[in-house]
Amino acid sequence: MIKKFDIPEEVVKESLNILETTSKTGKIRKGTNEVTKAIERKQAQLVYIAEDVNPPEIVMHLPILCEESKINYTFVPTKEELGIAAGLKVGSASIAIVDAGEAKQSLKGLNSKITELRK
């Protein structure tokens, strides 16, 4: 089972806004295979995981990899929301921010909030 922690709605909104800015001005990796590679190469700055992935086994290794690599991760209610925030026409099970672009400062703040929530 995926190790989940409660994420307040405003943090989810903030994280999706940061993803939206990053998808326009920075670099993201889309899809579980690309995200896994970004984590293993320690390129990911934040990993987003959709909660409605079926079967959950598709993404259940991501939190473990993130923790081993000391990379923050967060959950988003649906693949649709994640895809839309990333500027995709389809949903995505997971996305990693590799270069935050103009959202660099916002991402720092978000990462501190997520670290606090996970404690």
**Vertex 13 angle, CA 103 and 28, to 5°:** 40
What does the pLDDT look like over 9-66, one tens digit per residue?
899 999 999 999 999 999 999 999 999 999 999 999 999 999 999 999 999 999 999 9
| Distance, CA of 76 to CA of 71 (rounded, Å) | 17
pLDDT at 1 over 50: no
Query: Considering the chain, what is the average pLDDT of its residues?
Result: 93
The pLDDT assigned to 4 comes to 67
Domain boundaries, the chain: 29-118
| Distance, CA of 5 to CA of 66 (rounded, Å) | 14
pLDDT at 2 over 80: no
The pLDDT assigned to 78 comes to 94
Its CATH architecture, for the domain 29-118, is: 2-Layer Sandwich (3.30)
Give the torsion sign (CA, 103, 106, 110, 112).
positive
Band (pLDDT 50/70/90 cuts) for residue 7 is confident
pLDDT at 104 over 50: yes
Counts for the chain of helices (H) and strands (E), in that order: 5, 4
- Expressed in percent and rounded to 5, the helix, strand and coil fractions of the chain are 50, 15, 35
pTM of the model: 0.93
